[in-house]
């Protein structure tokens, strides 16, 4: 992978991680303001619960994208830790390919949910706003996960050092 392609790919990866981080902040702000206004002013934000749960769903799918690329999700490494370097690499490739397959199927089924929500005209309770844009945003996070897992798989096969270059990948054993 040449330097320009790698730089562009790394920028896309960083952008996807920032989107996940922004949704963490939005969910936290929604909860904070909802509790604050209810506790001190006896006022509730219309659809705060709906927005909170919908944004949490979006956050989960964008978070899947970020953690899947970095490999920072929860793993069980009993066999991996006993293996040699060459076998470890192939275990990583196999596990990432299985993850890619699962997330591709999930992305396909989630699109069906987005379409169904749009066609059924599902709305929020108080403001009667359409729900499908949140579902679509979650679906885009799933698409981002497919892209990043594909990039991870490619890098594991072709140039595993491209993944190991990130400082957050180094784990003290």
Residue 164: pLDDT above 50?
yes
Compute CA 172 distance to the chain's CA centroid, rounded to the nearest angstrom.
25
pLDDT tens-digit series, residues 62-76: 988 888 887 766 666
Residue 132: pLDDT above 80?
yes
Dihedral pair phi/psi, residue 130, rounded to 5°: -65, 145
Structure tokens at 68: 């899947």
* Cβ(30)–Cβ(105) below 8 Å: no
Q: 81 versus 106: which is more confidently predicted? A: 106
pTM for the structure as a whole: 0.84
Kindly provide the b/e burial profile for residues 29-66, where b requires at least 16 CB atoms within 10 angstroms of the residue's own CB: ebeeebeeeeeeeeeeeebbebbbebbbbbbebbbbbb
Residues sharing a CB contact under 8 Å with residue 46, sequence separation 6 or more, in sequence order: 126, 127
pLDDT tens-digit series, residues 16-49: 889 989 999 999 999 999 999 999 999 999 999 9
Residue 12: pLDDT above 90?
no
DSSP state of 166: S
Q: Residue 162: what pLDDT?
A: 67
Expressed as residue numbers, the domain containing 122 is 3-169
Query: What domain count does the chain have?
Result: 1
């Amino acid at each position: 992978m040449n330097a320009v392609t790698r730089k562009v790919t790394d920028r896309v990866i960083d952008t996807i991680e920032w989107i996940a981080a922004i949704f963490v902040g939005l969910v936290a702000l929604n909860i904070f303001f909802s509790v604050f206004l209810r506790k001190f002013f006896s006022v509730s934000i219309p659809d705060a619960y709906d927005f909170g749960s919908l944004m949490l769903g979006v956050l989960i799918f964008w978070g899947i994208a970020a953690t899947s690329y970095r490999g920072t999700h929860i793993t069980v490494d009993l066999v991996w830790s006993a293996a040699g370097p060459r076998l470890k690499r192939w275990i990583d490739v196999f596990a990432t390919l299985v993850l890619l397959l699962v997330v591709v199927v999930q992305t396909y089924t989630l699109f069906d949910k987005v379409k169904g929500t749009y066609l059924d005209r599902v709305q929020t309770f108080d403001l009667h706003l359409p729900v499908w844009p949140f579902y679509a945003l979650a679906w885009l996070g799933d698409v981002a996960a497919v892209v990043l897992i594909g990039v991870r798989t490619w890098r594991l096969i072709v140039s595993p050092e491209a993944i190991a270059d990130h400082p957050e990948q180094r784990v003290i054993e």
